[in-house]
Amino acid sequence: MINLLPKKKPWYKRGIFQKAYDGVFHEKRPWYKKEFLQALRDIKDFFHLQLVRIILVIVIVFTVTPVLLFIYYKPIPQKNINYGITFSWKYASEMGLDWKETYIQILDDLGAENLRLVAYWEDTEPTKDNYDYSNIEWQLTEADKRGVNVILSLGRKVPRYPECFEPKWWRAIESEDLREQELHEYIKKTILELRHHSSIKIWQVENEPFWPFGDCPYPFTMKQIDKEVNIVRSLDAKRPILSQDSGEGGLWFKTYKIGDYLGISMYRKIWYDFWGIFGGKFIYFQYPLQNWTYAIKAGLFGVPIDKIIVTELQAEPWGPGLNSKLSQDDKDHTMSRNDFYATIDYAQRAGFKDLYLWGAEWWYWEKLHNDNQFFWDTAKALFRQNK
Q: Torsions phi, psi of 285, nearest 5?
A: -145, 140
Number of separate domains in the chain:
2
The DSSP bridge partners found for residue 263 are: 244, 309
pLDDT of residue 15: 53
CATH of the domain at 156: 3.20.20.80
pLDDT more than 90, % of the chain: 72
Alpha helices in the chain (DSSP H): 15-25, 31-47, 50-73, 89-94, 99-105, 121-124, 134-146, 168-171, 176-194, 222-235, 252-256, 293-300, 328-334, 337-348, 360-369, 374-384
What are the pLDDT digits (tens) for 76-135? 889 899 999 999 999 999 999 999 999 999 999 999 999 999 999 999 999 999 999 999
Over range 127-150, report the average pLDDT. Answer: 98
Q: Identify whether residues 231 and 273 lie together within a single domain.
A: yes
Whether 359 and 84 have beta carbons less than 8 Å apart is answered as: no
Q: Identify whether residues 146 and 46 lie together within a single domain.
A: no
Is 108 within a domain? Answer: yes
* Confidence band of 327 (pLDDT split at 50, 70, 90): very high
- pLDDT at 137 > cutoff 90: yes
Q: Identify whether residues 43 and 107 lie together within a single domain.
A: no
Choose one of 73, 93, 128: the last residue of a domain: 73
* Structural Rg of the chain based on CA atoms: 31
Whether 220 and 209 have beta carbons less than 8 Å apart is answered as: yes
Amino acid at 64: V
Is 32 within a domain? Answer: no
Q: Identify whether residues 137 and 174 lie together within a single domain.
A: yes
Length of the chain: 387
Contacts of 252 (CB under 8 A, 6+ apart): 245, 262, 264, 297, 298, 301, 303
The 8-class DSSP code of residue 306 comes to G
Domain that holds residue 93: 80-384
DSSP string for residues in 261-282: EEEEEE-SEEEE-TTTTTTT--
What are the pLDDT digits (tens) for 213-268? 899 999 999 999 999 999 999 999 999 999 999 999 998 999 999 999 999 999 99
- In whole angstroms, what is the distance from residue 41 CA to residue 38 CA? 5
pLDDT of residue 5: 46
Contacts of 379 (CB under 8 A, 6+ apart): 85, 110, 315, 357, 360, 363
Is 12 within a domain? Answer: no
The 8-class DSSP code of residue 7 comes to P
pTM for this predicted structure: 0.83
- Quick one: which of 225, 273, 265 has its CA closest to 246? 265
